[in-house]
Amino acid sequence: ETILRLQNISKYYYSDTSVTQALRKINLEFSMGEFVAITGESGGGKSTLLNVISGMLPFDEGEMYFRGEPTFQYDDQDWEEYRRNKIGFVFQDYSLINHYTALDNILAALVIQGKDPESSKEEAMAYLEQVGLTEQAAQRASQLSSGQKQRLSIARALAKNTDIIVADEPTGNLDSETGEQIVEILERLSHEKLVIMVTHNYDQAEPYVTRRIRLHDGEVVTDVPVNKRDENV
């Protein structure tokens, strides 16, 4: 089931003196149930691609389709809605509210969706449980270990209840064992979602991902299935 399709997407960055083409006619389709690693050397266009997919960065040419619907008709409000309700974000630096407890970080995400914090605690605890943070619910985010912080940021992304999760270098600040646990969690979630992860550490991700896309100089130079899954989502 295709959820996202990029057709001939190009992206340019302009400065006073130069133009950089960061994406060159990208054609990609993504389906539910995929766990995609986006790899490639620095400057290849990974962040740009992830930001385009996330609706955080406008592209210049081509078209992106979400659930078959072309996004050229989206106005600013539609894009805001897309970012808020269609994409769960996981960042390298966690982007948590540090003086809030783990539970309150999740509740804050639920409140943004218009939910009542008092009656949402059970739901919030369920997201914490999915990432193994039940015991840490009452701890401030600032007191958590790096791996726990990243797990909390995944739980916060889950709280948006989106079909797509994008993760930009989610293991970039973690030691390899902790990082692998994060990749493992993302793999588990990808069975019911589309998870797209930019990574500099493909070796760590390889046992878990279902697909590898490599970007070089703004072009897709590799797009291959990795670990076949039995189920059809």
Other Cβ atoms within 10 Å of 80 Cβ, number: 12
C-beta closer to ligand ADP: residue 168 or 187: 168
Q: Which amino acid is at 97?
A: I
C-beta closer to ligand ADP: residue 33 or 40: 40
Smallest distance from ligand ADP to CB 219, Å: 11
> How far is Cα 162 from Cα 194, in angstroms, rounded to an integer?
9
Smallest distance from ligand ADP to CB 27, Å: 17
Query: Across-strand partners of 64?
Result: 6
Per the listing, tokens 């995929």 go with: 34
Smallest distance from ligand ADP to CB 90, Å: 13
Smallest distance from ligand ADP to CB 31, Å: 23
C-beta closer to ligand ADP: residue 40 or 88: 40
By CB atoms closer than 10 A (0-12, 13-18, 19+), residue 41 is: exposed
3-state secondary structure of 40: coil
C-beta closer to ligand ADP: residue 88 or 170: 170
Task: Return residues touching ligand ADP (CB under 6 A).
Answer: 13, 20, 22, 40, 42-48, 168
105 in Cβ contact with 156 (< 8 Å): yes
- Rg, C-alpha atoms of the chain: 18
C-beta closer to ligand ADP: residue 22 or 165: 22
Smallest distance from ligand ADP to CB 75, Å: 23
Other Cβ atoms within 10 Å of 13 Cβ, number: 12
